[in-house]
């Protein structure tokens, strides 16, 4: 985790540098490096989210002892996600399991589903099907929670990783977030609904 934090800081520093002097940015390998670090941070966030939420028994498999974290489509984490979750358990004592989701059924069995921004539209349609399945849908862009039916988005805001939460979608999914968690997120959607 320490390593992870350090990288986040380095990333922030680079981003600040990039914003202040875009012309100095070197394309190519550095971009690839940034992308890699970004996903490591996102993997860490996914792990924290997995720990922050409590899933009702109804959405968990009967006599299941795992909590499934799925990545829709191609895995952008490059193995760091599995590394983060390996050997860890959720707040409910369930063992995390990272899976690649290739079908709707598979998607429905996941408690956390990461939807990368570059997922193909075909698979994105599955998201509508998963609206009330108790699956926490996590995306990468604000649009994901605004109009694609997503619940949570991990977004770089002001050089730091921020979370955007659609409380309407959250409520309709049957999941609940603690007030402490809500404080950490940018809230969208009508909370009263």
Site residues for another protein per CB under 8 A = 1-2, 5, 45, 48, 51-52, 54, 89-93, 178, 180-181, 183-184
Least Å distance, CB 99 to another protein, is 22
Report the residue number, 127 or 185, with the smaller CB distance to another protein: 185
Give the CA count within 13 Å in the CB-facing half-sphere of 177.
Answer: 26
Report the residue number, 62 or 158, with the smaller CB distance to another protein: 158
Of 151, 164, 85, nearest in space to 115 by CA: 151
Tokens of 59: 């959405």
Least Å distance, CB 45 to another protein, is 7
φ/ψ of 109, rounded to 5, equals: -80, -10
- What's the residue count for the chain? 193
Other C-beta atoms closer than 10 Å to the C-beta of 171 total: 17
Least Å distance, CB 8 to another protein, is 9
Least Å distance, CB 89 to another protein, is 6
Report the residue number, 71 or 185, with the smaller CB distance to another protein: 185
Gap between the Cα atoms of 122 and 126, Å rounded: 7
Report the residue number, 25 or 182, with the smaller CB distance to another protein: 182
N-to-C CA span, the chain:
37
Pairing mode, if any, of strands 112-114 and 95-101? unpaired
Classify burial at 52, counting beta carbons within 10 Å of its beta carbon; exposed 0-12, middle 13-18, buried 19 or more: middle
User: Reduced to 3 states, what is the DSSP secondary structure of residue 147?
Assistant: coil
Report the residue number, 30 or 54, with the smaller CB distance to another protein: 54
Least Å distance, CB 24 to another protein, is 28
Gap between the Cα atoms of 15 and 26, Å rounded: 12
Least Å distance, CB 185 to another protein, is 10
Report the residue number, 160 or 191, with the smaller CB distance to another protein: 160
């Amino acid at each position: 985790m320490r390593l992870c934090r350090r990288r986040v800081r380095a990333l922030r520093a680079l981003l600040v540098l990039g914003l202040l002097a875009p012309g100095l940015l070197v394309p190519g390998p550095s971009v690839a490096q940034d992308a890699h670090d970004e996903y490591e941070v996102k993997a860490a966030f996914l792990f924290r989210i997995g720990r922050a939420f409590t899933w009702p028994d109804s959405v968990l498999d009967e006599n299941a002892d795992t909590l499934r974290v799925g990545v829709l489509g191609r895995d952008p984490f490059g193995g760091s996600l599995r590394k983060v979750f390996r050997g860890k358990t959720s707040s409910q004592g369930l063992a995390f399991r990272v899976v690649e989701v290739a079908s709707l059924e598979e998607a429905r069995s996941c408690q956390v589903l990461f939807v990368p921004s570059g997922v193909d539209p075909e698979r994105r349609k599955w998201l509508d099907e998963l609206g009330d399945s108790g699956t926490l849908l996590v995306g990468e862009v604000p649009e994901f929670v605004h109009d694609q039916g997503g619940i949570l988005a991990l977004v770089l805001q002001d050089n730091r990783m921020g979370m955007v939460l659609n409380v309407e979608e959250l409520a309709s999914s049957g999941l609940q977030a603690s007030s402490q968690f809500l404080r950490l997120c940018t809230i969208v959607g009508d909370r009263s609904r």
